[in-house]
Amino acid sequence: MRIVTYNVNGIRSAMSKGLLEWIKADKPDVLCLQEIKAHPEQVGLMEFEEFGYHHYWFPAQKKGYSGVAIFSKLKPLHVEYGCGNKLYDDEGRVLRVDFTDYSVMSVYHPSGSSGDDRQAFKMKWLDFFYNYIAELKKTKQHLILSGDFNICHKPIDIHNPKSNANTSGFLPEEREWMEKFIQSGFIDSFRWFNTEPHNYTWWSYRAGSRGKNLGWRIDYNLVSQNLKDRLKGAAIASQAVHSDHCPAILDLI
């Protein structure tokens, strides 16, 4: 079972850069997308369906903004659209599919980089999301949270931790939240298998950052601790260049 999370920064743009060809070659069983920036009727879906995917969309109310989707070869038993909070559901932040023995969520955490108001929004969201997942775990005990968390957990996850110490996405309070969240019962699947530095999932478009590998690791597949015996492998597909992010891959037994 291969689960992939990918912030495509506009699915139509990513498709124009070869996203479909990459999906055809990699063959993920479940593909969690973030920042789709489109409604399904705006996207050619024939190819996805020809690849054997069931597809589920939760776009933002605002056109061309945010939104999540899940493509799955196995038809889920249930699809949960949103998190039940209109403030966040209007921005298309959460979509979950439930299978027999686990659930997969595509989640897109807000960015606070545009200013103080959005940073405050992000911190309120983080508090909400922590409690939301804590409550969800009472009924869905085998969770895989796949998405763009917009937080680098540790200094190893960012190219220059000192100069970014006061930058949204690497603020002390954000990193503390990430640590608390993981300690609440999750495994950072990539770090379970790989402790090497210089592994990133997002690069700024500025100053040739990607070519220099001046990146941030902000995309995660977080796995419930009780699924640790099913972990087979994890990787970052930095060669996939359909977005300013790249795919993060999780393989399960």
Average pLDDT over residues 12-32: 97
CATH number of the domain that 10 lies in? 3.60.10.10
Residues 108-135 have pLDDT tens digits of 999 999 899 999 999 999 999 999 999 9
pLDDT tens per residue across span 150-179: 999 999 999 999 999 999 999 999 999 999
Catalytic residue of the set 98, 148, 157, 188: 148
Within 8 A by CB and 6+ apart from 121, the residues are 110, 112
Number of domains forming the structure of the chain: 1
Q: Is 251 noted as a catalytic residue in this protein?
A: no
Distances from the Cα of 23 to the Cα of 79, 89, 194, 217, angstroms: 22, 27, 24, 21
Q: What is the pTM of this model?
A: 0.97
For the sheet containing 68-72, what is the strand order? 54-58, 68-72, 30-34, 2-7, 248-252, 231-236
Handedness of CA 145, 151, 155, 159 (dihedral sign): positive
Q: Look at residue 207 in the predicted model and tell me its pLDDT.
A: 87
- pLDDT over 90 (residue 44): no
pLDDT in tens, 63-112: 999 999 999 999 999 999 999 999 999 999 999 999 999 999 999 999 99
Specify whether the CB–CB gap between 141 and 226 falls below 8 A: yes
pLDDT in tens, 226-252: 999 999 999 999 999 999 999 999 999
Mean pLDDT of the chain: 97
The range of the structural domain enclosing residue 80 comes to: 2-252
pLDDT of residue 33: 98
